[in-house]
Amino acid sequence: MSQLETPSLPFRIRPHPNYALAVLLVAGFTAITSQIPFQSLLVLIVCRDLDRERGGTTTVSWTQDLSWEDYKSCAQRSDVQATVASWSLWFNLAEDIPATIFLIVGGYIVDLVGRKKAMCLSIISMMLQSLSYLSLSVVDVPLILLLPVYIISGATGGLGIMFLAGSAYIADTSDPQDRTKYFVLLESVLSVAMCFGPMGGGYIAKEFGFATFYSMTASATLLILGYLVFFFPDSSSQRLPESASKSVKTIFLDCLTSISVTLQMVFSFRAATALVAISTLQAFAATGSGLLILQYPMKQFGFDAFKTGQLIFVSSLQRIFILTLVLPTILSFSKTRGWQKVNVEIFLLRFSFFMMTVAQICYGLARTEEQFFSSTIPNAASSVGSPTMRAMLSTLVSPSFQGRLFSSISLFERVIALAGTMTTNLIYRSTVESFPQALFFVIAGLLAVGFVISLLFISKQGVEAMQAAGETCEEETVTEETPLLA
């Protein structure tokens, strides 16, 4: 028996999308929970190091744990903000560059070894990252030592391979008619993690210390790994028979060919090209939004990890309400009324990008904490777009090749996101002293372009052509020489 195969049990566990959703919930919760306190930890470490470099007395004490006493004054310093942004850029690049390379073979690995082993690989890398944060919180070490950890995390896929494998697992264990529902649930899972993770993590880190908090996250990753190894049923029927004697070079070249064929097929459809285009714009914008949500409220309002967690809690709670109650109600109502599913999904996609644009403008114009919190309303309303976008794209291929499809699209988005990480970080560092909210308006402009693309290039006829291609693909025998479509 393979190390990662489910041991024999007195009952049979049948693969079902809900098992993947459960793992993604806990894994996403753990990963998201870790990031907000780390940003606060980074602020305190940078503040301490800057004071040391200047030869003065640091306001940040270091005993058993870092002190929160002067956090607000540190977080609102422009030099601290710029340095934190710089370190964040290096950490992101150290993880994202190898992760982008990994994505070339990521879909191949997910389809070849199965969803379960790919998810185990992701959890192991998450465990390593939690242990590194734990070490940083109790030992006075240079931040540069974190770079190898991020490189390893990226080289093994990190959280990205977890959601890639999870999306593929959902696709190959659900019927096409129910797929949108499960992708909506996936969005809800992410929203639940975003809702309670940051605030809970911020509270624990603030009240009990960073060391206690990261001991808990490391333990959580160990529990997830145990569940995956001993109880999680792999969708083994969807694995592809591949020769175990292939060299790394051959696999790499085969993956490049597969990705090339996939993207050529995607770009052969006008609607699919438009979907990928707006998805990449969203990925570019997300890099700036992530930076701003973590750092701008610290600069403008003095938010600590717990306050930032409250902001994300409010936003995510609204997203959960929309994804679990409002959106299913809309889909159910439209079905009973006999409205065509494609038309409803296209409307939701356009509405999503419009509301994302409005939200970024509201964030940029906010001058008080209350106004900033209120801006989460249009942002939450935009959450209806992502599940419909993924559901439409998933119709292009048969279930056996969902991993390669999502991997190819993720690779395209990741390359754009790498450029976005560097660009948005540079904009923020350049404007943090005089006009720190400038990046919000840049992002709003990009999302407005996505809204226009959805109006002009995504139509019912285009989406139905994609679906017809996917049905044809399922009827054909797909070989290694024709990775996705003949």
Taking Cα atoms as reference points, which of 301, 281, 310 lies closest to residue 385?
281
Identify the CATH number of the domain in which residue 312 sits.
1.20.1250.20
Higher pLDDT, 473 or 357: 357
Q: Is residue 241 in a domain?
A: no
Residue 78 lies in a domain: yes
Predicted confidence band of residue 78 (pLDDT cuts 50, 70, 90): confident
Highest mean pLDDT among 99-108, 258-267, 318-327, 396-405: 318-327
> Which range of residues forms the domain containing residue 208?
17-234+246-475
**pLDDT at position 296 over 80:** yes
Count of structural domains within the chain:
1
Q: Is residue 3 part of a domain?
A: no
Predicted confidence (pLDDT) per residue in 104-154, tens digit: 777 677 777 778 888 888 899 889 999 999 888 888 888 998 999 999 888
* Arithmetic mean of pLDDT, 384-401: 75
Is the residue at 481 inside a domain?
no
Between CA 304 and CA 39 the distance in angstroms is 9
Residue pair 317/307 in contact by the 8 Å Cβ criterion? no
Does residue 219 fall inside a structural domain?
yes
What are the CA-CA distances from residue 204 to residues 7, 42, 310 (Å)? 36, 16, 13
> Does some domain include residue 2?
no
> Does a structural domain hold residue 483?
no
Distance (Å) of CA 435 to CA 47, 406, 432, 438? 22, 38, 6, 6
Does any domain span residue 114?
Answer: yes
Please determine, for residue 193, whether its predicted confidence score (pLDDT) is greater than 80.
no
